[in-house]
Amino acid sequence: MFEFSVSAAPAAPVWAVGALCRAIADSLQARFNPVRVRGEIAGFSRAASGHCYFSIKDASGQLRCAMFRRAAQGLDFAPRDGDLVELQGQLGVYEQRGDLQLIVEKLQRAGQGSWMEQFLRLKERLQAQGLFDAQRKRPLPAMPRGIGVVTSLGAAALHDVVTALQRRAPHVPVVLAPALVQGEQAPASLVAALQQLYAWAQQPGAWPPVDAILLVRGGGAMEDLWAFNDETLAHTIVQSPVPLISGVGHETDFTIADFCADLRAPTPTAAAELVAPARADCLRQLQAWQERIERLLQQRLQGQQQWLDKLALRLGQPRQLVQAQRLLCQRQGQQATATMQLKMKHAALKQQALEADFSQNFQRQLQQRRQHLALLTQRLELLNPEQVLQRGFAWLTTPQGQVVSSIRCAPVGTALQAQLADGRLDLTVVPPRLL
């Protein structure tokens, strides 16, 4: 018979949280540091203090990094999300949060990351197709009647846009087309939302009319904004029937949508401010126009009053003007009377001379006319038909008085009248007799 005794395992020590973090940090220091890492930058930011914070990642992992101002001052380039870099530093634990982090001492460019490479290749291809041409960019409407917005219903960008529009132009209605702004389904969702707004903007009588479209999303890492680097979305953006503003990410973020849009805004709030003129500014402008019109009218009125004053000065005293005009009329009347008398005297003398010449010319012409008349009378007597009839001739006419001058005018059976010197005979044309 066997007897067994089981002894209890030694109890594990109880660590204080801070002590455990320091122990892990010491272990990492002893085993790994210094460490060199290669990967893509993500979520890069530079604090006001000059310290830089970001993550380094690849396809299978991600590590938080911090680079303090002293080391950051030695950088020879501006790090951006998507940059492929090599860095050297000390791996440790940020005890306040218990996070694993790498304190970067050196950072150098190792080539552009895969995200950035895809972005640049697509950007170059679309630019060659003319999607970024400045000539096709349209100005924003000065006073939009309605604004379309494409973003996620749960996005902070929607709140920022609505707040800015309510503050600047509460009278302008907004048409929202919700869409996904992150993930694999986001590009297709964004395209569908834009096409929905395009149909609305082109529909006759649609209310409110959409005069501009905002495509917005808040900031994030390059992969978070990747839906806005889609080629189909880029072609959809350039097909917009109205000006389209892209407000994606923060001021340092750039996407393909920014290059295709009619205007790129640094943030969603800035996009809303660009498309909607401030109501207060519009009121101030209207007030300025009103004051200018009133000033011009006042200047015009004053000018007319001065013109009337000048005319009054030119008119002077009416009584003096009337007296001067009366004297002038009298003087001109006397001159006219003297001139008229002189002309009448000359006219009388000329009339006497003309009457003498007329009498002589009249007698001479009268004698010439009488002689000419006697000659014409003699010639007329010679041509008198009655003188011809006295010599045995006859004047043939039809009963209607038409002169018969040819046998063709009087066929057989025609009734004729023959006028002789002492009377008239009625005749009838008969066939000629054969001898």
Domain boundary assignment for the chain: 17-112, 145-277, 288-313, 388-428
Are residues 256 and 215 in contact, defined by beta-carbon separation less than 8 angstroms?
no
Q: Which of 30-34, 210-214, 298-302, 360-364 has the highest mean pLDDT?
A: 210-214
Measured between alpha carbons, how far is 150 from 158 in angstroms, rounded to an integer?
9
Q: What's the start-to-end Cα distance of the chain, in Å?
A: 202
H or E element: which one contains 160?
Answer: helix 156-168
Burial 4-23 (b: 16+ CB within 10 A, else e): eeeeeeeeeeeeeeeeebee
Three-state DSSP at 128 gives helix
C-alpha span between 179 and 181 (Å, rounded): 6
Which is more confident, 320 or 217?
217
Phi, psi dihedrals of residue 157, rounded to the nearest 5°: -60, -35
pLDDT at 364: 83
Q: What is the pTM of this model?
A: 0.47
What is the CATH number assigned to the segment(s) 17-112? 2.40.50.140
Asked if the model's pLDDT at residue 152 lies above 60, the reply is: yes
Beta strand 424-428 pairing with 83-94:
unpaired
| Average pLDDT for 161-175 | 91
Question: What angle do helix axes 114-128 and 231-238 make, rounded to 10 degrees?
Answer: 40
Mean of all residue pLDDT scores within the chain: 83
Most confident of 24-33, 143-152, 247-256, 366-375: 143-152
pLDDT for 73 equals: 87
State how far the Cα of 136 lies from the Cα of 173, in Å rounded to an integer. Answer: 27
Residue 7's pLDDT band (cuts 50, 70, 90): very low
3-state secondary structure at position 241: coil
Percent of the chain with pLDDT over 70: 89
> What is the pLDDT averaged over residues 180-207?
93
Q: How far is CA 89 from CA 37, 59, 92, 313, in A?
A: 9, 21, 10, 96
Predicted confidence band of residue 26 (pLDDT cuts 50, 70, 90): low
Mean pLDDT of 235-244: 96
Instruction: Give 213-239 pLDDT, tens digit per residue.
Output: 999 998 877 778 899 999 999 999 999
> Can you tell me the mean pLDDT for 271-282?
81
Q: Is the pLDDT of residue 117 over 80?
A: no
Mean pLDDT of 67-85: 86
- The rounded distance, in Å, linking the Cα atoms of 93 and 223 is 26
Banded pLDDT at 111 (limits 50, 70, 90): low
| More confident: 68 or 287 | 68
61 — pLDDT class (breaks 50, 70, 90) = confident
Q: What is the mean pLDDT of residues 426-432?
A: 83
**Whole-number pLDDT of residue 262:** 95
CA distance 330 to 339: 14
Higher-scoring residue by pLDDT: 320, 209: 209
Q: What pLDDT does 411 receive?
A: 84
Residues 6+ apart with CB under 8 A from 250: 219, 266, 267
**pLDDT for res 5:** 38
pLDDT at 2 over 50: no
pLDDT beyond 60 at 6: no
- Paired residues of 98 in beta bridges: none
Q: What DSSP line would sit under 290-320, residue for residue?
A: HHHHHHHHHHHHHHHHHHHHHHHHHH--HHH
Kindly report the backbone phi and psi dihedral angles of residue 59, in degrees, each rounded to the nearest multiple of 5, phi listed first. Answer: -65, -20
* Strand (E) or helix (H) holding 85: strand 83-94
Q: Is it the case that residue 21 has pLDDT exceeding 70?
A: no
Residue 355 has pLDDT above 80, yes or no: no
| Confidence (pLDDT) at 62 | 87
Residue 239 is classified by DSSP as: T
Provide CB contacts within 8 A for 297, sequence distance 6+: none
Radius of gyration in angstroms for the set of CA atoms belonging to the chain, rounded to a whole number: 59
**35 contacts 91 by C-beta, under 8 angstroms:** yes
Reported confidence tier of residue 416, pLDDT bands at 50, 70, 90: confident
Measured distance CA(93)–CA(33) in Å, rounded: 13
Question: Which range (58-72, 111-125, 306-320, 398-412) has the least confidence?
Answer: 306-320
CA distance 235 to 215: 14
pLDDT at position 119 over 60: yes
As a 3-state breakdown, the chain gives helix, strand, coil percent values, each rounded to 5, of 45, 20, 35
Q: Would you say residue 9 has pLDDT above 60?
A: no
Q: Is 391 helix (H, G, I), strand (E, B) or coil?
A: coil
Query: Cβ distance 421 to 389 under 8 Å?
Result: yes
How remote is the C-alpha of 204 from its chain's centroid? 20
The Cα 242–Cα 263 span in angstroms is: 12
Residue of 197, 237, 129 whose CA lies nearest to 246: 237
CATH architecture of 145-277: 3-Layer(aba) Sandwich (3.40)
**pLDDT score, position 8:** 47
| Contact of 121 with 186, CB cutoff 8 Å | no
pLDDT score of 283:
72
Looking at the chain, the whole-number percentage of residues with pLDDT higher than 90 is 30
Q: Using the predicted structure, report yes or no on whether residue 35 has a pLDDT greater than 60.
A: yes
Q: Is the sign of the CA dihedral 31, 34, 39, 43 positive or negative?
A: positive
Q: Tokens 């880029």 correspond to what residue?
A: 234
